[in-house]
Structure 1
């Protein structure tokens, strides 16, 4: 290392990091990949991780760590404000859906503290998070990506809608309007072999029959609000975007070839111009900003339909980083006010995911092998 290089490095170190970032949901499945993406950024970031679980594995991967209440707790925002002030945070990057709404409502308060929260404004967030509202929004504006659906809240409406969408001649899906990670999602398929699923599959199948789910749903009081929609048999894609409010400079589609509990374990980054255009148009129409993830699935006629939006950094966004598009860092740069250019993507890059361990020694120090 030359004397001038050493001097520059020492000066940069003395000047401190480019930014201090508060990462929520440090125990989320995707936190590891997101943190590794941020480490590969041209930005020098110090990361403070928070989670409601004191044993969150992500605490071993960050510079500082704290526990916080759940995002639905009345004390959640006050705790985050306390940590933002204590740790002199510049940017808040949320990873879990439950935290998005309270953080969105408090964006102006954080902005007054000089802090950017990487979440959409409340109106855009409410539509994106609620699948029934989202599908209605798409249909009203004439998007081809709008799936056939109905929102129901009674047994009679549920059964009638399932029938009107083709059951039992073809499968039909239903889900909760607001949920994540496949919670509450089921495919109704009258041809399913229930004995085969019971005896030969791990207990995570989303396929069942109308008769089976009615037994369970009729026990609920009141009957739950559900979104019933057409079954889409084609390939599923996740499309990661970064929106600036003035445009959508980064859009990266990737196939979901193998999933577990809604998380991609295998896929390929693909230059699908149809999905790139659809994701950009929908993101713009909704008024989303920062990182977001749009999930599409093709119908029987080869038309991509939007099945949900995660208006946050997605759990498998590290796939984009592996293909040269560091979308988490891209989003942080926007939050810090940097100008953005479209990333160069190595289309065709594929990913396979495996498990990794985090240890805690008897002294309480967390580490990885």
Structure 2
């Protein structure tokens, strides 16, 4: 039986595991998962769940290699410390463990650091990127903010190395502070608030100050072979509230083909774009399964399983997704299995 390991994933890995388990070929897998929080939701999708130590660098590498050797892991699907793992992928291969990760270290590093990737995209006509500045001091923030406003943009901020919506804030000086206080949690901060917070330290990690993109947001989920050949593209749009629309958008599918041809990213990845005045602009490319990939699988394509099938050396052909699917989700109560 093929053994698969997920290390410290998001809660939605619960769905990825079940898609792999309930595959169309009836193939049997034993799924392992680790996380520092033994009650984390991702572990509930695993056959074998263990607590993962909080480590970095070489110490984490030693743990990961030991885990693969101890449990005879055939396929490792990392999220945490992807770069470190990719850098030493030959050590996993010596153990007989195949790793679903981008092996191009220079590309992987740039994808994980938004500023570096934006700089590389600037040299091409591949995609349109938002107007942005990268700052490290409160005064530099104020300068960047002024330049972007002068250019006619609304402004937002986000750390260059964060995932998803972590650290994302919209700069607005027109908010009613009392209404915000008594209302739902908002991602708005005033210029003065941001400056005051950033002024609390002399320097801070790279912060991207960029134009706010108010249009539709899409996550373009992609499946590729180990060699980077594009096998499936499904644009997924945030359609309000919990609604998601799997939509055939020719210009976004074309972007996916251009990205695949240039970067050859393997397995599962997603391209996030957001529109401004009818133009799709790049937010980021994540070299892993996206947080909403389980919704995209409603297109009829089992993205997680086909990536596993591909790395195991089995043929995966070009897929034909079903588009025009409007989807949503509801919570489901389950009894937690915390082991011994």
Q: Same fold (TM over 0.5)?
A: yes
Describe the shift of the 1:219–1:273 C-alpha distance in structure 2 as closer, same or farther (beyond 3 A).
same
How far apart are the structure 2 equivalents of 1:175 and 1:75?
A: 29
Contact 2:234 2:296 in 1 (8 A): yes
Contact 2:12 2:42 in 1 (8 A): no
The equivalent residue for 1:221 is 202
Match of 2:329 among 327, 331, 353: 353
Counterparts of residues 1-369 of structure 1 (less than 5 Å): 17=1, 19-25=2-8, 28-41=10-23, 42=25, 43-70=27-54, 72=56, 74-94=58-78, 96=79, 98-121=80-103, 122-166=105-149, 170-201=153-184, 203=185, 205-244=186-225, 245-258=227-240, 265-300=242-277, 302-360=278-336, 365=339
Describe the shift of the 1:233–1:249 C-alpha distance in structure 2 as closer, same or farther (beyond 3 A).
same
Describe the shift of the 1:246–1:212 C-alpha distance in structure 2 as closer, same or farther (beyond 3 A).
closer
Matched residue pairs, number?
336
Q: TM-score normalized by structure 1?
A: 0.85
Larger-Rg structure: 1
4+ long deviations beyond 3 Å? 167-170
How far apart are the structure 2 equivalents of 1:143 and 1:194?
A: 41
Secondary structure in structure 1 of the residue aligned to 2:236 = strand
Secondary structure in structure 2 of the residue aligned to 1:135 = helix
Secondary structure in structure 2 of the residue aligned to 1:166 = helix
Contact 1:294 1:308 in 2 (8 A): yes
Secondary structure in structure 2 of the residue aligned to 1:48 = strand
- Cα distance, 1:51 vs structure 2: 1.3
How far apart are the structure 2 equivalents of 1:192 and 1:306?
A: 27
List runs of 5+ in structure 1 lacking aligned partners.
1-16, 260-264
RMSD: 2.1
Contact 1:174 1:228 in 2 (8 A): yes
